[in-house]
Amino acid sequence: MKRLKLAFTFLIVIILVIMGVLLYKNTSMILNEKTFHEALNPAAQISLESPHFIEMNGEVTVFEVEADEAYYYKESNLAHLKRPSAKLYGKNGKNTFIQGDEGIINTETNNIEVTGNVEIDTVDGYYMETSFVKYENDKMLISTDADIRLTGKGFEIRGKGMTTRLDQEVSRIHQNVKAVFYPSPVGEHVDNKN
């Protein structure tokens, strides 16, 4: 009887060891062996899903960036973003919103580049479409050398290349400027001083 009990215990231990070895070797069947960044981009040192970056200057928020995915490359100090959406804080609450297909943040300078189906909205009601835009953080400067389409209340402007100084609220379109102004609705005041 003792031998049967000892044999049965030994058999259970062997079965448990075999099951443990099989589970250890086949963890990919239970859990994905690859880390997130290995699965999505093996060259990146850090990969994030739905990241939210905030740039502060003391107590003041300079910008916020969200994306579907982000990959950080330490050797180049760049973060590559999928479907980025940036909020740039201007003076007097006049914020600018930029979104596009791809983006890059330089983690040393905090400069941002956005490419592919770029859309820019402002709280003043201006809307711009282009294929590429960059934001230089130290100058508070948005610029592009691509074709643009800018619309607002009562106008549409097309051209090539543009710069906007957020701190001065000044925009300049560089080439091939074509503007269409729509008459104001009845009763709306039109300021012709400019």
pLDDT at 77: 86
pTM of the model: 0.70
Count other Cβ atoms within 10 Å, centred on residue 51. Answer: 19
pLDDT tens digits, 55-114: 888 888 888 999 999 888 888 888 899 999 999 888 777 889 999 999 999 989 999 999
Give how far the C-alpha of residue 145 lies from the chain's centroid of Cα atoms, to the nearest Å. Answer: 20
- Does position 32 have pLDDT exceeding 50, yes or no? no
Contact 150, 157 (CB under 8 A): yes
Domain boundaries, the chain: 1-33, 39-181
Better-predicted residue by pLDDT, 185 or 121? 121
CATH of the domain spanning 39-181, picked from 1.10.3720.10, 1.10.10.10, 2.60.450.10, 2.40.50.140: 2.60.450.10
Kind plus residue range of the DSSP H or E element containing 16? helix 2-25
Closest CA to 87 of 69, 108, 63: 63
Lowest-confidence pick of 22-31, 32-41, 126-135: 32-41
pLDDT of amino acid 104: 92
Which pLDDT belongs to residue 38? 41
Considering the chain, what is the average pLDDT of its residues?
A: 79
